[in-house]
Amino acid sequence: ESQIALWMASFLKTVAGVCLSGAIGIGIGVNINKKTTGCQSNALVPTNSMQVSSSPVLSTTDMVLTGAPTLPARAPSAAAVLQWAGWPGFDNIKFREGYVASYNRQTKNPWWVCEHLCAETMKGDGNRKNGGEPFQEDISDPPHLRSRLEDFRGSGFDRGHLVAASDIKFSQTAMDETFLLSNISPQVGEGFNRGFWERMERWSRGLVTSGAYSDVFVLSGPIYLPAKEGDGKFYMHHQVLGNPPSVHVPTHFFKVLLALPSRSAQETLALAPATPSKNDPSTLALVPARGAKAPRPIAIGAFVVPNQVIEDSRDFKQFEVPLEVAERFAGLRFFPLLPRNQPSLVSPICRETKCQLPPPFQPKNGGGGGNTPRIVEIK
């Protein structure tokens, strides 16, 4: 993470406040009655100030360049926050029952996944013990453009969930879809996937189960960062799995969270036209809705962690980075329509709540034994 600190310092000297323009207006759009799966009664099902349209909200130019997807008749509730706060990107979008994913066919990893944590999603009949081999190849991609089960065999890496199975318990189908390899990245096992990363997942769920927030939206994905070598130059080095080699092993992972203090919090912001600027080409922005006042700001936080053993004693806040830094590393925009420059409306999550991970998970009977994953029962 010393490389992250170096790049952050350099980047923050040059970036000139990558924030949204201060447009003033009222919400626009037409309410379309889309059904969602997951958090059925949450605030980000269509309301007067947030509409789930038939395709993502973006400029005409963006529509031409990206070929934005059309939302299915029953979209996961995670799609609603992307409609409202902005999409990270539009490459190879996959709508699952419990999450949305964008899959990179070159690295055979997700670009990003988006999930919606709420009381409804984390309880139900979903059980990872139902059936045999839970991991499955994603047959929606051609065989030569997807990761394969055999790519991971004998690699020494875990098949690491980006949307955890324990986050999606409201139906068996929804949980099963978290085991599709398009939701999986190669992760160091003991001490990361079965350690720090799992604790990050529990902490994210705890933001809801503790009652601190009604709804938490999580974007997760891989990052590939260079390392500085003896000649003072930066080089990209990371392992590639498979035969032929095709599944890239990320050097880092990001997790970006947007937390609503209540299910009416999103009604304090309305979508309005914005004037593009040098730092932000957006033609839309979320601005204060007329007559609405939030009792607490929406919380947002970004974390970048290395794909390596991380000691249990490490302070989670050491891995917090400015949102713009995470965007630069990932090459994505995270909730770009939010008014990040207005702290009364959007505030850093570690300022609003305690960013402290739960203690390491202790397996039953004192140990996993052999090659059995230490946390397989709760992942």
Comparison of pLDDT for 268 and 360, the residue scoring more: 360
Cβ neighbourhood burial of 141 (10 Å; 0-12, 13-18, 19+): middle
Helix orientation angle between 2-14 and 323-330, rounded to the nearest 10 degrees: 110
**H or E element, residue 303:** strand 298-306
Query: Rounded to whole angstroms, how far apart are CA atoms 98 and 37?
Result: 7
What is the structure's pLDDT at 328?
A: 97
Length of the chain: 379
Query: Rounded to whole angstroms, how far apart are CA atoms 183 and 98?
Result: 12
Query: Rounded to whole angstroms, how far apart are CA atoms 325 and 12?
Result: 8
Whether 248 is a known active-site residue: answer no
Q: Determine the residue type at 128.
A: R
- Give me the sign of the Cα torsion angle 321, 327, 328, 331: positive
Query: Rounded to whole angstroms, how far apart are CA atoms 304 and 2?
Result: 12
Strands 252-260 and 298-306: antiparallel
- Average confidence (pLDDT) over 75-84: 90
The values of phi and psi at residue 67, to 5°, are 60, 60
What is the structure's pLDDT at 257?
A: 98
Cβ neighbourhood burial of 66 (10 Å; 0-12, 13-18, 19+): middle
The values of phi and psi at residue 16, to 5°, are -110, 70
Q: Is the pLDDT of residue 23 over 60?
A: no
Scan for tokens 């970004």, then name that residue: 302
pLDDT digits (tens, 9 = 90+) for 202-248: 999 999 999 999 999 999 999 999 999 999 999 999 999 999 999 99
Query: Rounded to whole angstroms, how far apart are CA atoms 101 and 110?
Result: 7
Query: Rounded to whole angstroms, how far apart are CA atoms 82 and 78?
Result: 7
Q: Determine the residue type at 298.
A: I
Whether 335 contacts 86, CB under 8 Å:
yes
Cβ neighbourhood burial of 182 (10 Å; 0-12, 13-18, 19+): buried
- Choose among 90, 75, 247, 236: nearest CA to 159: 247
Whether 166 contacts 205, CB under 8 Å:
yes
Could you say which of 116, 144, 161, 252 is catalytic? 161
Q: Is the pLDDT of residue 120 over 80?
A: yes
Strands 346-348 and 298-306: parallel
The whole-chain average pLDDT of the chain stands at 81
Report how far apart, in Å, the C-alpha atoms of 47 and of each of 263, 265, 269, 291 are. Answer: 11, 12, 12, 16
What is the structure's pLDDT at 127?
A: 87
State the DSSP code for 50: B
Tokens at residue 371, please? Answer: 């090659």
Q: Is the pLDDT of residue 146 over 60?
A: yes
pTM: 0.82
- Average confidence (pLDDT) over 93-112: 97
Cβ neighbourhood burial of 29 (10 Å; 0-12, 13-18, 19+): middle
